[in-house]
Amino acid sequence: MAIPVVVVGCAGQMGREVVKAVHAAPDMAVVGAVDRSHIDEDAGELAGIGPIDVPVTDNLEITCAMVAQERAPGVMVDFTHPRGLYDRVRSAIAYGIRPVVGTTGLPPEQIEELAEFADKASTGCIVAPNFAIGMILLQQACLRAAEYFDHVEIIELHHNRKADAPSGTALATAQMIGSTGKTFNVPEVDESELVAGARGGVTPGDIRIHSLRLPGLLAHQAVVFGGLGQSYTLRHDTTDRAAYMPGVLLAIRKVLGLKSLVYGLEKIL
Ligand SMILES: NC(=O)C1=CN([C@@H]2O[C@H](COP(=O)(O)OP(=O)(O)OC[C@H]3O[C@@H](n4cnc5c(N)ncnc54)[C@H](OP(=O)(O)O)[C@@H]3O)[C@@H](O)[C@H]2O)C=CC1
Ligand SMILES: O=C(O)C1=N[C@H](C(=O)O)C[C@H](O)C1
């Protein structure tokens, strides 16, 4: 039986790609498509694959109630905006629908609360700031480099339609490097910023993130380690949103077997 999938943000850049990928997957079916605009348009037409007989709606509640009636357990994939995301995830879980969340910018405390909610409901949920395998490999390589370098900064570069800064991926990368327990970036001089923000934003682990937003970019991240007489740069470039789809499809399959919230694609690989 095909996994029933609701795509929230189906008219967005990522949502259209998800509709296309889910429709092409032999073990899944798009059964609901939610967005704020393009109401009543066919989600397949919007995604450029022709009609799939799933009209776009702006009513997630009714869509969840409908999917809850399906014989197979459903999955909600959300690539939207952090505004209202907490409530959307809670709603889906309340209907027994497993959320797969790619939307970034949700505060850590809310992720924590959602984890408690999913736990109590014994319902799987996956939240991942990046579904591209190359980025996960970069983050893992960072942990190795962090053993040997005491200085590191992150530069993330994105298209200028991105709402949040820094990117969820950069924050997660900084958090991972910080979780080694090492102290990074002890200053060697008294620095002053002649232009506010010139040295980037400082994360709790004292790792700086520099965010660039430009048309012509998609999603890119460089992690630069510095040491005596050398620097080491790890860089990942996303050139097409199709890069995220194997990770999204994997999450849809894996979330059905979970009973709690899992944060990060690396945990389900
Ligand atoms: N985890 C990962 O691997 C990746 C995560 N992302 C994240 O995914 C999110 C979406 O990115 P992207 O597709 O580029 O953004 P887009 O702006 O292209 O798409 C978002 C879509 O969601 C809609 N939307 C916003 N709020 C709601 C809501 N409350 N209910 C239903 N639909 C809503 C938007 O409508 P409207 O235009 O009217 O606002 C828009 O159509 C971002 O948070 C981004 O950081 C992106 C790429 C990869
Ligand atoms: O908005 C995007 O495009 C992306 N957002 C995610 C993030 O904030 O990390 C993932 C990827 O960088 C693309």
Q: Give the model's pLDDT for residue 228.
A: 97
Number of neighbouring beta carbons within 10 Å of residue 185: 15
First-to-final CA distance of the chain: 24
Supply the DSSP symbol for 267. Answer: G
**Active-site choice (158, 210, 236, 254):** 158
CA separation for the pair 190, 6 (Å, rounded): 52
Q: For residues 61-77, give the mean pLDDT.
A: 96
Is 152 in contact with 180 (CB distance < 8 Å)?
Answer: no
Substitution site in 14, 18, 130, 248 for ligand 2 pocket (most atoms within 8 Å of beta carbon): 130
Q: Give the model's pLDDT for residue 20.
A: 98
Q: Give the model's pLDDT for residue 98.
A: 98
ipTM of the complex: 0.99
Residue with tokens 């109401």: 39
Is 173 in contact with 104 (CB distance < 8 Å)?
Answer: no
User: The tokens of 133 are what?
Assistant: 């395998």
Number of H helices, E strands in the chain: 8, 12
Q: For residues 179-208, give the mean pLDDT.
A: 96
- Any catalytic annotation for residue 158? yes
Task: Decide: residue 82, CB within 10 A, 0-12 exposed, 13-18 middle, 19+ buried.
Answer: middle
User: The tokens of 162 are what?
Assistant: 């991105």
Q: CA angle 41-42-44, nearest 5°? A: 140
User: The tokens of 220 are what?
Assistant: 């890119």
Q: Give the model's pLDDT for residue 257.
A: 98
Q: Which amino acid is at 106?
A: L
E strands in the chain: 3-8, 28-34, 56-57, 75-78, 98-101, 125-127, 151-158, 201-202, 208-213, 219-227, 230-238, 261-263
**Active-site choice (38, 81, 151, 162):** 162
Q: Give the model's pLDDT for residue 74.
A: 98
Q: Give the model's pLDDT for residue 180.
A: 95
Substitution site in 8, 34, 39, 81 for ligand 1 pocket (most atoms within 8 Å of beta carbon): 81
Q: Give the model's pLDDT for residue 124.
A: 98
pLDDT band at 122 (very low <50, low <70, confident <90, very high): very high
What are 70-108's pLDDT values in tens digits?
999 999 999 999 999 999 999 999 999 999 999 999 999
Instruction: Give start and end residues of each alpha helix (H) in 128-223.
Output: 133-146, 168-178
Is 96 in contact with 118 (CB distance < 8 Å)?
Answer: no
User: The tokens of 140 are what?
Assistant: 């893992």
Is the pTM of the predicted complex or chain greater than 0.80?
Answer: yes
Q: Give the model's pLDDT for residue 127.
A: 98
- Any catalytic annotation for residue 120? no
Is 122 in contact with 261 (CB distance < 8 Å)?
Answer: no
Q: Is the dihedral of CA 68, 69, 75, 78 positive or negative?
A: negative
User: The tokens of 155 are what?
Assistant: 């530069």
Ligand 2 close to Cβ of residue 173 (< 6 A): no
What are 126-144's pLDDT values in tens digits?
999 999 999 999 999 999 9
What are 201-252's pLDDT values in tens digits?
999 999 999 999 999 999 999 999 999 999 999 999 999 999 999 999 999 9
